[in-house]
Structure 1
């Protein structure tokens, strides 16, 4: 007997509408062939359904639909405060940045980027915007955008905003990360997680846009320092 399909996320329909609006706007350009491209382009719905099914995969505990929503919302929060060259590419990259995710693999970002390239090309997004989306997905490998890469700064800041949650929110995030790596023995996980936290705490700054730095830097460092202390006690 086949396993039952996972329950749909309560925000499924709203997310699908959000995706549809984004893809339609992302197809637009100043080129004269835009109208013809939009007329002949595939319907957005199947692409959105595929992405949402990926974000709902059972191996995920932190990199879930809720994480997708949080990143999209933080992107929307940051964009009014910065001069980003391509907001549509940032939002597309948010949808794709963990669309391929297996906790025991180190190639998730590269595979997510390849998925974005295939899907957006087929869906009729202009080549330059598709290429920028792919580049942004790959920036999330190390969350270290080059100076002046405003698109990358917004995406990375939105992705790391979880670090600045309330103590309860941060605790839930840390617990979900541990669940996602449930196959790793406790001692090995503590050592690996502590090394990640030490690396992040050693960076000159976690957040790159001025507004994110002001709002989230201090809280994020406090949360991570507290987790590190607990891990190494």
Structure 2
């Protein structure tokens, strides 16, 4: 069933793709958007859902409003749509397959080779969330994708619970060990957020949430 929220997202997709095309002719954006929304609504998803897509888009808007000028924001938004478009918790090549999907779909949809390559690069970057200094597009997308880490404690617990549901096929002990390793890796990074606003608004809260979850896993 299509909801009003889905209609709003589809309208947003259409306006983003048209803006990225900058008046160039191309096919109707709507079928591409409907295909993506269907992917984001697949039953194996518990956290990487349409709600996550919407949240990332909202955080991109927030970063843009708080000093994110200079980036190619429409391409960043398109990368958000594709960054988890292919998602299977039991597979390790999701980012690569999502980037390949972006390359195929956006070429058909009328973007230039540079635009297609940049969106695909950004999608691949979400594997590491480690943009190079000065990579404004990458900083905005990665910060928006990780902003959930800085949410209120109750919201963060809901996020962690949803991640566990996605990995329900993994036994408890193995999941705790694997999740703890992920959290330690994140906490070892010099910084989780790369934009000035993200670093100021989200870094401290995110680290507190990560440390709290890690303590619970290793107690």
Structure-1 residue corresponding to 2:185: 199
Greater Rg, structure 1 or structure 2?
1
Q: Does the alignment pair 1:218 with 2:204?
A: yes
Unaligned stretches of 5+ residues in structure 1:
1-6, 29-34
Structure-2 residue corresponding to 1:11: 5
Match of 1:137 among 114, 117, 123: 123
Change (3 A) 1:203 1:110: same
**Normalised TM-score (structure 2):** 0.97
Q: How does 1:170-185 map to 2 (within 5 A)?
A: 170-185=156-171
Unaligned stretches of 5+ residues in structure 2:
none
Q: How does 1:95-106 map to 2 (within 5 A)?
A: 95-106=81-92
May I ask how many residue pairs the two structures share in their alignment?
Answer: 218
Structure-2 residue corresponding to 1:79: 64
SS for the counterpart of 1:144 is coil
Structure-2 residue corresponding to 1:27: 21
Deviation (angstroms), 1:130: 1.0
Cα offsets for 1:145-194 (capped at 9, x unmatched): 01110100000000000000001100000000000000000000000000
Q: How does 1:128-167 map to 2 (within 5 A)?
A: 128-167=114-153
**Normalised TM-score (structure 1):** 0.92
Taking the aligned partners of 1:85 and 1:176, their CA distance within structure 2 comes to: 31
Deviation (angstroms), 1:10: 4.5
Taking the aligned partners of 2:38 and 2:185, their CA distance within structure 1 comes to: 33
RMSD: 0.9
Taking the aligned partners of 1:84 and 1:49, their CA distance within structure 2 comes to: 30
Q: Does the alignment pair 1:62 with 2:47?
A: yes
Deviation (angstroms), 1:84: 2.9
Greater shift in the superposed pair: 78-87 or 96-105 = 78-87
